[in-house]
Amino acid sequence: MAPSLPADIHAPKQARSLESMRRLIDAARQILNEDGLEAATIPRIAERAGLSVGSVYRRFPDKDALLREICLQHFLDKQEFLSKLAQEIPPEATLSEIIPSMAQGMMHSFTENAGLMRASIYYFHEQAAPKVRQKIDRAIRRMGEITSGILLSRRRQINHPDPELAAPLAITMMSSTIREIALYPNQRMTSAEYNQVASELAQAACRYLGVSK
């Protein structure tokens, strides 16, 4: 049998390329999260990643192409995370336990990644091409379906007269409020205050759904 020279020769190069791409994406995400879109220049991203500017441009023709990849992947990663989370919730968990955990998880995600989320939302609304916007919109809708589905899988615990309507509204109430507070705050808040807000929103959602403790 002839030796598999091409695979042997190209594997190390491919591994290095994947590692460089990982460092590049991580660096861009970090800068977006720390300082926003304007600060995410190709030279700064390349420096953070330990790469040359030329190596960045060999992978992405311009900054917009890099941002497109990062922002699209951000929403797709969120969708995948929620899909796995929904599968891992114990069957015996009640909505009075699940809803507060969801609210705290949303708050943590938004506050820890506020800069990246602001950049992704801005890109989605202001810069994304129609096809990219459609992909992101599908991911956002799917995230809503997953979180609503978690609640509706325990519809017997919901005393609202219309669970199909109430479940997505409860999710929207929590996520939209948390997004505004975490991403566009009127004043600085401590971690304890953010947690308190999430707790209050979870209680409001439970009351709206008619979930008993």
Distance of CA 135 to the CA centre of its chain: 14
* Among 27-41, 86-100, 139-153, the least confident range: 27-41
**Which pLDDT score, from 0 to 100, does residue 124 have?**
87
DSSP state of 90: -
Q: What is the chain's mean pLDDT, rounded? A: 89
- Nearest Cα neighbor of 58 from 104, 17, 119 is 17
- The CATH architecture of the domain made up of 63-209 is Orthogonal Bundle (1.10)
pTM: 0.83
For CATH 1.10.357.10, list the domain ranges present in the chain.
63-209
| Statement: residue 120 has pLDDT above 60 | yes
CATH superfamily, domain at 1-60: Homeodomain-like (1.10.10.60)
**Which pLDDT score, from 0 to 100, does residue 4 have?**
43
| Statement: residue 63 has pLDDT above 90 | no
| Statement: residue 152 has pLDDT above 70 | yes
What average pLDDT does range 100-108 have in this prediction?
A: 96
**Which pLDDT score, from 0 to 100, does residue 95 have?**
97
pLDDT category at 171 given cuts 50, 70, 90 is very high
Alpha-carbon Rg for the chain in angstroms = 21
Output phi, psi for 184, to 5 deg.
-130, 60
**Which pLDDT score, from 0 to 100, does residue 13 have?**
59
pLDDT category at 128 given cuts 50, 70, 90 is confident
CA distances from 6 to 9, 21, 45 (A): 5, 22, 32
For CATH 1.10.10.60, list the domain ranges present in the chain.
1-60
Whether the CB-CB separation of 175 and 197 falls below 8 Å is answered with no
Whether the CB-CB separation of 202 and 174 falls below 8 Å is answered with yes
Other Cβ atoms closer than 10 A to 85: 15
Q: Please name the residue that has the structure tokens 């899909």.
A: 83
Q: Please name the residue that has the structure tokens 């929207």.
A: 172
Output 61 or 7, whichever has higher pLDDT: 61
